[in-house]
Structure 1
Amino acid sequence: MPRLSLDDLYRFAVPSDPALRPDGGAVAYTLTTVDRDADENRAEIWLAAPGAPPRRLAEGSAPRWSPDGRWLAFLRAVDGKPQLHLLPMDGGEPVVVTEAPLGAGAARWSPDGARIAYAGPVGSGGQAPDPHAPVVAERLDHKADGAGLLRGITTHLFVVDVESREAVRVTEGDFHAGEPSWSPDGKRLAFVASMAPDGDLEAEGAVYAVPVAGGTPERLTGPEIICTGVWWTGDDERLIVAGLKGGPVGHTRLFTLESGGLAEVETGLDRNVMTGHPGYPGASPALLGDDLLFCVRDRGSTHLYRAPAHRLVPEDVSVSGVSVAAGRVAYVAATAHSAGEVYLLEPGEQAPRRLTGHALPDVELYTPVRRTFTAPDGTEVEGFVLRDESATTPGPLLLDVHGGPHNAWAPVLDGFHLYHQALAARGWTVLALNPRASDGYGEDFYTAAVGAWGLADGQDFLAAVDDLVADGIADPERLAVTGYSYGGYMTCWLTAATDRFKAAVAGGSVTDLTSVSGTSDMGFALKAYECPGDLAAQSPITRVTEVTAPTLILHGESDDRCPVGQAEQWFAALRERRVPVRLVRYPGASHLFILNGRPSHRYDYNERIIAWLEQWVSGSPS
């Protein structure tokens, strides 16, 4: 059986966003594939049920069942803009129900099934902005990665009548409204927003409720937490709120909000609640009867728990979507052998039932092995080692650094970093390390590098490499380092701190914290909360004269999170010193292009990493 290759990128089929039918009998989900000829990612709605093979329903994404299960709402592009469609489940073709000028968001059905709420973009005066008009900014939040310059576009709530197709705008103002949640009586919508006059300079987020016919939103929470999500659950007036307590850097927690005020949910876990975002697994909290279900990250894996601390899924999985109905739980999870499958957990059953089989059946995979290392100051850090276990002599090692820095590597098949499997097949060992600041090891560990990027966390990487060299796994003369985003930052930092690495690949990197604080869409937050203090002392560019490692720099041209100027600075500094360097810029690519960008760009990214490492470490031509 062949090993996984880069060409398998075009064969992956990855499920997400499961929606359990109200009777619990079937699960609709989004299946993402790749169209190689069109160089596009494709999204389709599929249906899985016990005892039946999964089947395709329609082109689109974000399926949501009507309360009676007769209709499935989903998003599909019309003239390039996502619009809500309804698919009749008793037969017939989908019908479009919105004509939003800038597109609609995912559906939220009213309790009676007569209306659908959604959050969608709105231009100034309700019109699309002129792309050629001058852009005037008075606040720092005038751009966003993936969207670019916002040109006055904000996100607001709408309610559309299912029968008449008439849409009503519910919220107005100079703020962005988060995803809506219906009150049990169908009269109000709850959402999260920052309405502070200086919201671009303040870490602020509150829960609001607004009548579905529109009006002035009522603020329901105070400054004691920074709210990030809200959900009305069950048949009472209780709201579940996700938020941060004590500052913008730390664990997300869950709270209940009732007439008596805000109360923290006792999960019994020193772990970060994961509500699910691009590049970050997890799911919205939900009720199973009277029990609250939620996701947390634990030692790389993302688990589904029932409060207070009962894990519902196997240990080494990564959950990225949960739905509850009729006493059943559907979820999507990646494992060491699959980038994602749909599972169903039924009442009284201890083990979940797998409903799909989207894993590639004809490839052999290397399995990551969990390992613990000890830094010089005694801090234990964990990582995952990927290699051919039959190898008996030291070989080349690639240290890969994740982004965030509060993300984490997981012991599951990674459908984005395909070079891990490809390099293992070429005799490499890949070390995916979760240093301090990684999620899943407690809040003290999560915040351990605040204000000390490179200074506090750098030792973790070198200690782990030392251990693998001492164990005869890694050849000390054939070491390389790579990473993306914060990982790109740390790649630059480590090659300035030591000459042990014979090659480096910096992706989507930050090299100068001073300049990025004024050019990134999150620059002020980075400077104020993540890297307070001496920015120069934490910036790789300050130490660039120490770099000797041949460096490949990979960067999205339209990256607003870590703007391409960061790559240009590093490239120019190395080139001036005649260090072997190559800069590759991906046209139109945002910061997350390695996850959701053009398939050809993602393939090229993986291919170039392998070629650069083989050239400078293994001695093979590029």
Structure 2
Amino acid sequence: MPPLALDDLYRLAVPGDPQLRPDGGAVAYTLTTADRDSDEPVTEIWLAAPGAEPRRLAKGIAPRWSPDGGTLAFLRPVDGAPQIHLLPMDGGEPVQLTQAKLGAGIPVWSPDGTRIAYGGPHGTVDPNAPVVVDTLEYKADGAGLLREITTHLFVVPVGGGETLQLTEGDFHAGQPTWSPDGRQLAFTASLDSDRDLVIGGEVYAVEATGSEPKRLTGPEVICIGAWWLGDRLVIAGLKGGPEGHTRLFTLEGDRLAELETGLDRNVMMGAPGYPGATPQLLGGDLVFAARDGGCSHLYRLPGVASGQAEKIVGGERVVAGASVAAGRIAYVAATPESAGEVYLDGLALTSYALPDVELFVPRRRTFTAPDGTQVEGFILRDENLTEPGPLLLDVHGGPHNAWAPVFDGVHLYHQVLAARGWTVLMINPRASDGYGEAFYTATKGAWGISDQDDFLAPLDRLVAEGIADPDRLAITGYSYGGYMTCWLTSHTGRFKAAIPGGIVSDLHSMVGTSDLGYFMKKHECAGDLQAQSPITFVDQVTTPTLILHGENDDRCPVGQAEQWFEALRERQVPVRLVRYPGGSHLFILNGRPSHRHHYNERILAWLEQWVSGSPS
């Protein structure tokens, strides 16, 4: 079979957001593909069941079952704004339920199935009005300038009627969760006036008929998610500050009690680029996701009480969504052979792996940094190779993300390079997720300083083993990976080509321009910003550099790329800047397919030009 080609981007189908029907007999899920004609990602809702071929239900996202399983609520755009629709499962077309001016959020059914709650944007938007801000909380990557828009909670009757707004004010309400009796909704929010300066979050409750929000938790935990599971309110939060692992708590009276799991691992609730699943009840036990060794796995905690969590979905898999009902569990997971499949009690209900493509499988390796720290990595290469060859070091983002040994439908150039005789090295350096909290927080205030040898030592090892040719080394990375690409090329001349994407080059200017800049200054990079900034050492760079950046990136603003480009050009280092119109920080995950294809294509061309010797 042939190896993967970049055009296979348009054949990939990636499932997500699995929702198990209340009787446990079928799974609704989303399926995302890249449409070449419209140059847009397309997401549809499908249904899979044992013994049947998956079938398409509707175009949309966020499928959610009614308590009786007879209706599927989901989101579909109407005039550019997402609205909740209801699909009767006994036949018929979807019916629009909401008519929210700025759109609705993910539907959350009431326990009796008569109402749906959602969080949605509220306010007025005049794109031509001056933007007046008093706090740092005025923009967000992917959304841009927030203007006067805040997120609040609404309840709409399923049978029709007036939509009731439950919250209002200058704050953002998190995803709602119904109390078992259907009388209240809980949500997370920070109502403090200085919330842009002091990171916080509490759990609030509001009556389903409307009332002032009542605060349920105090400042000892930064609450970032809450779910009523049975008669228990389970909360995800950060204890002691915003830098460490996410943990699980329950509300007992007026205090939070931590649910000890016996794991030194980070709870993963699921977000773009950070796969996981929300906590749920399986029988009387708590099911949750946590990252272990780069993979997101599912665990069961008996009795929703402190104890030793048991891993129930593990191995070389990355879980990206789970749902429980009727004593069964459905989940989506990526494997070394597939970017994602839908499973029910461990049985695959789908087959989205490309059947006519031979994939190279990442292999785990452990390396030792000079200070004795063990760092894990993954090597992708043709195992039939016997001579030293070119090697690409790829650095993940975060830095609190992690590479995993599964098929990567985003970084397609990995497979193409392996087919061309390259070795791709993916290291999980200190600060990566899945190796304990001390490892997770090890680079605080010391970006580049404490972690650079975690990359250089593995390179030395692979050169010594005869795997990598020391004269044909290259480096790339995105976000933090873009930062580290700039950092390493300003501290060593051993790389023949560099491709930083979504970069950070100057932490000083980053602080005042990024939507998370103040957080970076106070917490992640607390300390000497100049000493941690690649721009401080740019006069030492000689590596030919290709910079790839989204034009509308508010996380790592495009000015970071402009600064690096200008500095290298002034010093006459071979450099090229590619900007992607409309691209947010996550455009390489969910942006225009043509941009994602071009991103991969540019990397391959730059490596061919500067490492393999072919003209660009």
TM-score above 0.5, yes or no: yes
| 2:417 aligned counterpart, secondary structure | helix
Following the alignment from structure 1 to structure 2, what is the Cα–Cα distance between the partners of residues 399 and 156? 44
Which amino acid in the other structure matches residue 517 of structure 1? V
Residues 16 and 320 of structure 1 are in contact (CA less than 8 Å); yes or no, is this contact kept in structure 2? yes
Matching of residue 146 in structure 1 with residue 142 in structure 2: yes
What do the CA deviations read for 1:444-463 (whole angstroms, capped 9, x no partner)?
00000000000000010000
Which one of 545, 560, 564 corresponds to residue 566 of structure 1?
Answer: 560
Match of residue 469 from structure 1: 463
Matching of residue 233 in structure 1 with residue 223 in structure 2: no
After superposition, where does 1:31-110 map in structure 2 within 5 Å?
A: 31-110=31-110
| 1:8 aligned counterpart, secondary structure | helix
Residues 10 and 33 of structure 2 are in contact (CA less than 8 Å); yes or no, is this contact kept in structure 1? yes
Match of residue 354 from structure 1: 348
| 1:276 aligned counterpart, secondary structure | coil
Match of residue 528 from structure 2: 534
Match of residue 155 from structure 1: 151
After superposition, where does 1:174-185 map in structure 2 within 5 Å?
A: 174-185=170-181
Q: CA deviation at 1:166?
A: 2.4
Match of residue 480 from structure 2: 486
After superposition, where does 1:182-331 map in structure 2 within 5 Å?
A: 182-234=178-230, 236=231, 238-259=232-253, 261-307=255-301, 308-331=308-331
Residues 62 and 74 of structure 1 are in contact (CA less than 8 Å); yes or no, is this contact kept in structure 2? yes
Q: CA deviation at 1:260?
A: 5.9
Following the alignment from structure 1 to structure 2, what is the Cα–Cα distance between the partners of residues 609 and 377? 33
Following the alignment from structure 1 to structure 2, what is the Cα–Cα distance between the partners of residues 169 and 293? 32
Which amino acid in the other structure matches residue 367 of structure 1? V
Following the alignment from structure 1 to structure 2, what is the Cα–Cα distance between the partners of residues 428 and 178? 45
What do the CA deviations read for 1:574-594 (whole angstroms, capped 9, x no partner)?
000000000000001000000
Matching of residue 438 in structure 1 with residue 432 in structure 2: yes
After superposition, where does 1:595-606 map in structure 2 within 5 Å?
A: 595-606=589-600
Following the alignment from structure 1 to structure 2, what is the Cα–Cα distance between the partners of residues 314 and 528? 36
Q: CA deviation at 1:252?
A: 0.2
Give unmatched runs, 5+ long, in structure 2: 302-307
What do the CA deviations read for 1:54-113 (whole angstroms, capped 9, x no partner)?
110111111000000110000101011110000000000000000111111111000000
Q: CA deviation at 1:261?
A: 2.6
Structure 1 residue runs of 4+, over 4 Å off? none
Q: CA deviation at 1:359?
A: 1.2
Q: CA deviation at 1:165?
A: 4.2
Which amino acid in the other structure matches residue 28 of structure 1? A
Match of residue 377 from structure 1: 371
Following the alignment from structure 1 to structure 2, what is the Cα–Cα distance between the partners of residues 314 and 535? 39
Match of residue 349 from structure 1: none
Matching of residue 557 in structure 1 with residue 551 in structure 2: yes
Task: Pick which of 251-260 and 54-63 moved more.
Answer: 251-260
Match of residue 415 from structure 2: 421
Match of residue 505 from structure 2: 511
Following the alignment from structure 2 to structure 1, what is the Cα–Cα distance between the partners of residues 385 and 466? 10
What do the CA deviations read for 1:412-448 (whole angstroms, capped 9, x no partner)?
0010000100111111100010000000000000000
Which amino acid in the other structure matches residue 495 of structure 1? T
Q: CA deviation at 1:309?
A: 2.0
Which amino acid in the other structure matches residue 280 of structure 1? Y
| 1:538 aligned counterpart, secondary structure | coil
Residues 216 and 254 of structure 2 are in contact (CA less than 8 Å); yes or no, is this contact kept in structure 1? no
| 1:277 aligned counterpart, secondary structure | coil
Match of residue 17 from structure 2: 17
Give aligned-pair identity as a percent: 73
Following the alignment from structure 2 to structure 1, what is the Cα–Cα distance between the partners of residues 176 and 574? 51
What do the CA deviations read for 1:175-225 (whole angstroms, capped 9, x no partner)?
000000000000110000011110000110000000112221011111111
Residues 473 and 496 of structure 2 are in contact (CA less than 8 Å); yes or no, is this contact kept in structure 1? yes
What do the CA deviations read for 1:238-276 (whole angstroms, capped 9, x no partner)?
100000001100100000113263111111100000001
Q: CA deviation at 1:23?
A: 0.3
Residues 339 and 415 of structure 1 are in contact (CA less than 8 Å); yes or no, is this contact kept in structure 2? yes
Following the alignment from structure 1 to structure 2, what is the Cα–Cα distance between the partners of residues 136 and 26? 49
Following the alignment from structure 1 to structure 2, what is the Cα–Cα distance between the partners of residues 344 and 258? 33
Following the alignment from structure 1 to structure 2, what is the Cα–Cα distance between the partners of residues 513 and 103? 36
Which amino acid in the other structure matches residue 365 of structure 2? R
Change (3 A) 1:594 1:165: farther
Following the alignment from structure 1 to structure 2, what is the Cα–Cα distance between the partners of residues 438 and 49? 36
Q: CA deviation at 1:142?
A: 0.3
Following the alignment from structure 1 to structure 2, what is the Cα–Cα distance between the partners of residues 261 and 155? 27
Residues 98 and 165 of structure 1 are in contact (CA less than 8 Å); yes or no, is this contact kept in structure 2? no
Following the alignment from structure 1 to structure 2, what is the Cα–Cα distance between the partners of residues 533 and 40? 42
Match of residue 119 from structure 1: 119
Residues 159 and 212 of structure 1 are in contact (CA less than 8 Å); yes or no, is this contact kept in structure 2? yes
Matching of residue 593 in structure 1 with residue 587 in structure 2: yes
Residues 21 and 27 of structure 1 are in contact (CA less than 8 Å); yes or no, is this contact kept in structure 2? yes
What do the CA deviations read for 1:557-589 (whole angstroms, capped 9, x no partner)?
000000000000000000000000000000010
| 2:53 aligned counterpart, secondary structure | strand
Q: CA deviation at 1:131?
A: 0.2
| 2:313 aligned counterpart, secondary structure | coil
| 1:466 aligned counterpart, secondary structure | helix
Matching of residue 619 in structure 1 with residue 580 in structure 2: no
Residues 217 and 254 of structure 2 are in contact (CA less than 8 Å); yes or no, is this contact kept in structure 1? no
TM-score (ref. length: structure 2): 0.98
| 1:341 aligned counterpart, secondary structure | strand
Which amino acid in the other structure matches residue 10 of structure 1? Y
What do the CA deviations read for 1:109-135 (whole angstroms, capped 9, x no partner)?
000000000011111xxx3x1101100
Which amino acid in the other structure matches residue 189 of structure 2? A
Residues 337 and 365 of structure 1 are in contact (CA less than 8 Å); yes or no, is this contact kept in structure 2? yes
Which amino acid in the other structure matches residue 187 of structure 1? R
Residues 97 and 165 of structure 1 are in contact (CA less than 8 Å); yes or no, is this contact kept in structure 2? no
Match of residue 348 from structure 1: none
Matching of residue 523 in structure 1 with residue 517 in structure 2: yes
Following the alignment from structure 1 to structure 2, what is the Cα–Cα distance between the partners of residues 548 and 327? 60
What do the CA deviations read for 1:489-527 (whole angstroms, capped 9, x no partner)?
000000001000000001000000000001000000000
Give unmatched runs, 5+ long, in structure 1: 346-351
Following the alignment from structure 1 to structure 2, what is the Cα–Cα distance between the partners of residues 6 and 265? 45
Residues 287 and 298 of structure 2 are in contact (CA less than 8 Å); yes or no, is this contact kept in structure 1? yes
Which amino acid in the other structure matches residue 222 of structure 1? G
Following the alignment from structure 1 to structure 2, what is the Cα–Cα distance between the partners of residues 503 and 176? 44
Which amino acid in the other structure matches residue 86 of structure 1? L
Which amino acid in the other structure matches residue 48 of structure 1? A
